Amino acid sequence: MNKILIINGPNLNLLGKREVEIYGGITLDEISESLINQAHEAQVELELFQSNHEGEIVEKIQKAPGDFKFIVINPAAFTHYSIAIRDAVASIDVPVVEIHLSNIYAREDFRKKSVIAPVCLGQISGFGPLSYKIALETAIEFLRK
């Protein structure tokens, strides 16, 4: 089965309430619903996982091979310093795409570096909720090949 895993990191559960001038008014549930529809239309299976805890994200990534063929991750703040998540991504043979709602290169200096992107297939940053849609489309195309 071509199952795709979407991981959302810390504070993304607050989307819609959190820094709306940067992240917009859309909630994570609304983003998730449109991704579920997109997956349904493409006849792929999707699992959505959100955690505010680094270790839970590491464990989810470690357990992914066997169950999932592709991972999309918005590591949120962990992007910029979690060597543990980077090492987990590097340790599996499942392709991973890193995504961000905001353009991390147009923000504070501490956000301009991702420690995770170098071990990913690629990165999508700055398109708001569309970043998720583009990443899922990428995953669907990748699995068709």
Select from 31-39, 57-65, 83-91, 97-105 the region that touches ligand DQA (CB under 6 A).
97-105
SS3 15: coil
CB atoms within 10 A of CB 105: 12
Contact assessment for residue 127 and residue 97, using Cβ atoms and an 8 Å cutoff: no
By CB under 6 A, name the one of 100, 117, 120, 123 that touches ligand DQA. Answer: 100
Q: Is 100 tagged catalytic?
A: yes
Catalytic residue, chosen from 53, 81, 100, 132, is: 100
Fill in the amino acid letter for 132.
Y
| Cα 74 from Cα 127, distance rounded (Å) | 13
- Tell me: does residue 77 bind ligand DQA (CB under 6 A): yes
SS3 75: coil
Binding mask 14-53 toward ligand DQA (x if CB under 6 A, else -) reads ----------------------------------------
- Tell me: does residue 76 bind ligand DQA (CB under 6 A): yes
Closest separation between CB of residue 101 and ligand DQA, Å?
4
- Tell me: does residue 86 bind ligand DQA (CB under 6 A): no
Q: Distances in Å between the alpha carbon of 47 and those of 7, 89, 140? A: 9, 17, 14
DSSP letter string, 79-124: GGT-HHHHHHHHHS-S-EEEEESS-GGGS-GGGS--SSGGGSSEEE
Closest separation between CB of residue 117 and ligand DQA, Å?
11
- Tell me: does residue 101 bind ligand DQA (CB under 6 A): yes
Q: Which residues bind ligand DQA (CB under 6 A)?
A: 11, 74, 76-77, 79, 100-102, 104, 111
Q: Just list the catalytic residues.
A: 23, 100
